[in-house]
Amino acid sequence: MKLTVKFNLIFIAIFGLGLLATGLIARRFLFQNARDQTIQQARLILEAGRATRTYTAERIRPVLDRYQREKDAFFPESVPAFSAIRSLSYLHQAYPDYMYREPALNPTNPADRALDWEADVINLFRNETSLKEYVSERDTPSGRSLFLAKPMPAVASCMVCHSTPQVAPPAMVKIYGPTNGFGWKLNEIVAAQIVSVPMSIPNGVASRAFWNLMLWLGGVAALSLVLLNLTLLVAVIRPVGRMSSAADEISKGNLGVPELPVQGRDEISILADAFNRMHRSLAKAMKMLEE
């Protein structure tokens, strides 16, 4: 096998391994980063839901309560869950893959009844009370989706409307009926806030970044291979080739071949120098023999 082929095989093996290792690490890093960003997005939306809940409880309900008591009326707009779900439904309209829900196992509004996978998440929170947040992924018709969930316990202030129909505002029972959304126990995890965020966009960005990086690294590796080959040709292959053809000529008795050029003090030059000395000694010996 020729020296160039041998070296090229070694170079290609080294570059290939390097590219593979870099590719694996970069891929992991990019996709992990995409996931972290998606989680961050979900957290922001969840906080927006929480902020709307707090605003409704602190600012809207006191205003509407006065009016509700006077008129014996009930406005769902005074309910934190209602305002958080409704306001973020506008976000869902603009970005259909983004969704905010407050599913409950026993909901006041049937539209909030937990789907199978949501019920699993709520039950997970009920079984593991130390769990304060849960992140996972699932497949949806529009692609992979990440969801972030937080448990919702029933605290004392919730009991006015979620304990029994007798305690709840009559106007509310008139709207929602006496069967759903009651019987919640104090401090029990009754529902969850769940935000779903699509993975397709960040994953697409990560995938494009990955292939871009690999393309550039592949280009740099190919260029390095060309440069290494040129260096190999100039520093080793050509001088060794000159030396072997000179040796060939000399072995055939043609002692008149010109001396090899000696440049620098590397191993090849030292060898060429030694070769020239041997060539000269041989020529001298032959001359002495002839005389």
Binding site for ligand HEC (CB under 6 A): 76, 79, 81-82, 85, 102, 104, 107-109, 112, 152, 154-155, 157-158, 160-162, 172, 176, 181, 191
What values do phi and psi take at 134, rounded to 5?
A: -140, 130
Q: Where are the alpha helices (DSSP H) in 233-259?
A: 238-251
Nearer to ligand HEC, 162 or 279 (CB): 162
State the minimum distance, in angstroms, from the CB of residue 110 to ligand HEC.
8
Q: What is the torsion angle, in degrees rounded to the nearest 10, for the CA atoms of residue 160, residue 166, residue 169 and residue 174? A: 140
Among residues 19, 12, 17, 8, which one has the least CA distance to residue 215? 19
Nearer to ligand HEC, 168 or 260 (CB): 168
User: Rounded to 5 degrees, what angle do the CA atoms 252, 258, 261 make?
Assistant: 125
Question: 119 with 192: CB under 8 angstroms?
Answer: no
State the minimum distance, in angstroms, from the CB of residue 96 to ligand HEC.
20
Residue 92 half-sphere exposure toward CB, CA atoms < 13 A: 12
Nearer to ligand HEC, 161 or 272 (CB): 161
Nearer to ligand HEC, 15 or 74 (CB): 74
Nearer to ligand HEC, 42 or 191 (CB): 191
State the minimum distance, in angstroms, from the CB of residue 102 to ligand HEC.
4
Alpha-carbon span 160 to 182, nearest angstrom? 10
Q: Which residues pair with 196 in a beta bridge?
A: 99, 147
Q: Please, is 240 exposed, middle or buried when counting C-beta atoms within 10 Å of its C-beta (0-12, 13-18, 19+)?
A: middle
Nearer to ligand HEC, 85 or 206 (CB): 85
Alpha-carbon span 21 to 23, nearest angstrom? 5
Alpha-carbon span 79 to 82, nearest angstrom? 5
State the minimum distance, in angstroms, from the CB of residue 94 to ligand HEC.
20
State the minimum distance, in angstroms, from the CB of residue 28 to ligand HEC.
37
Nearer to ligand HEC, 174 or 287 (CB): 174
State the minimum distance, in angstroms, from the CB of residue 148 to ligand HEC.
16
State the minimum distance, in angstroms, from the CB of residue 52 to ligand HEC.
13
